[in-house]
Amino acid sequence: MTRAISLHDVSKTYTRGARVVDRLSLDIAPGEFLVLLGPSGCGKSTVLRMIAGLEEITEGQLLLDGEPANDWAPSGRDMAMVFQNFALYPTMTSRDNIGFPLRIETPGADPRDRVDATARMLGIEDLLDRFPSQLSGGERQRVAMGRAIARHPSAFLMDEPLSNLDAKLRNRLRAEIAKLTQELGVTTVYVTHDQAEAMSLGDRVAVLRGGLLQQIGSPREVYALPRNVFVAAFIGTPRINLLRGLVRAPLDGAMTISLGKQYLRLPEPLSLDHQLLRVQQGREVIVGLRSEAVRIAKPSAARAGEVVLTGLVEHVEFQGHEVLVHFNTGSRPAVVPELEAPRPSERPVRRRRREGAGVLDRLKGRAGALRAGPVVVLDQPDGDEGGGAASPEPRLPGDLVVRTTPDIRLRHGMQVPLLVDIGHLFVFDQHGERICPSPDRLPDLDA
């Protein structure tokens, strides 16, 4: 039997007043594989421990199959947890480690048949008589997973189970976990800070920051339509290009987004999303471009919806199957400061209240700043106000990273024409909230 898990406005506050989870609501369907993704310290492991009953819920309600379960003991929740550090008993063999919870649940019963069946499923039959000190990291993790699987639980809770392994072994075990959970059909909640794991494993991904839910959706949805700058920057490899822009929408001319020394001219007739950008006239925005939204080609090869930029090659990363090229386009990069930090920072500048701005507008602005954090500009020119806080991050080469094929030969200092697909353009406001594509519209993900 598998289990439905629901969290309704769940919060966790420790004795010193630190709120690590803030009004989190999630509905996990029976048999679903949900990934909790976010930077270290964002509260995702705390959420997992509250579901397991290892942490008390300060506020809100946990429902298991529709029944209130805040006060249920961990043993009564019928869940199995796989920890980051394996948590094997060093004086027990692999057979005894896997069979230990079975002996606790049904004293006097012989667990050997279920242990042997689990070992065959994981391919560790030859490891059953070894102690943890005689196993490699990957073998220990398989034994830890076997201990969870042998119980036939209603839900698996996995707390970064692969983070202590090398990259090659992580990839292999990731595929094994996906296959096993699919075959078993058991509800799985998986915690990780690795977006590659999240995208490859989850039916849905819930992105957390500072104890707040930023976005939840399928891996394709959160990649193709991030709700804010934080989600856009946290998901995707290489990281999305974020550039500081200024919308110019004259009544008698083409609409453009100035990037400093160059600009993006929006093709006419304007799409509905781009028409809505007119309200941003004269305002600073953040332009987001994935590396695949830009290609290296002559202006004469431009397709419908592509506009021309020019870039100066600053760095070339050879990846074997692809090449990442760092260009200097004269743009001003924008970053989400402390992107890897667990909690959003306060906005660095308190701006004067706008004339005529209502209470609702001010609340929306504060909520946006809390969810996405502030946006600052690297290499800010003198005299520019707002967001001038120095960033501890080193200056990266170039301001635009483009993914291309390894057959293209480029060298440092070359001036190269670039074609930008405006159809894959993201625009975020100063608080980091997405305004283009329009928040209530979903692009054609099958195109």
Per-residue pLDDT at 122 = 85
Per-residue pLDDT at 35 = 96
Q: Domains in the chain, please, with CATH?
A: 5-224 (3.40.50.300), 229-382+393-436 (no CATH)
Single out the residue of 332, 218, 340 nearest to residue 286, CA to CA: 332
Separation of alpha carbons 209 and 130, rounded Å: 41
Single out the residue of 66, 18, 434 nearest to residue 229, CA to CA: 434
What tokens appear for 207 in the block? 């992105």
Per-residue pLDDT at 376 = 44
Q: Do residues 387 and 374 lie in contact, with contact meaning Cβ atoms separated by under 8 Å?
A: yes
**What is each CA distance from 288 to 26, 181, 270, 282, 423, in whole angstroms?**
28, 35, 19, 18, 12
Separation of alpha carbons 438 and 273, rounded Å: 6
pLDDT (tens digit per residue) in 113-167: 989 988 888 888 999 999 999 998 888 888 988 888 888 899 999 999 888 777 7
Separation of alpha carbons 375 and 391, rounded Å: 11
Single out the residue of 264, 22, 31 nearest to residue 154, CA to CA: 31
Per-residue pLDDT at 174 = 86
Name the DSSP class of 278.
G
Count CA atoms within 13 Å of residue 414 on its CB side: 13
Element (H, E) at 50: helix 44-52
**What is each CA distance from 444 to 8, 22, 224, 225, 437, in whole angstroms?**
31, 33, 9, 10, 12
Which residues pair with residue 288 across a beta bridge? 242, 426
Which residues pair with residue 329 across a beta bridge? none
Taking 70 as the pLDDT cut, the residues of the chain under it are 1, 337-396, 440-447
- Is this structure's pTM higher than 0.75? yes
Q: Could you write out the DSSP letters of every residue in 155-219?
A: EEEEESTTTTS-HHHHHHHHHHHHHHHHHHT-EEEEEES-HHHHHHH-SEEEEEETTEEEEEE-H
pLDDT (tens digit per residue) in 51-67: 999 999 999 999 999 99
**What is each CA distance from 287 to 22, 54, 303, 386, in whole angstroms?**
29, 42, 21, 18
Separation of alpha carbons 230 and 215, rounded Å: 10
Name the DSSP class of 75.
G
Tokens 């998901």 found at: 235
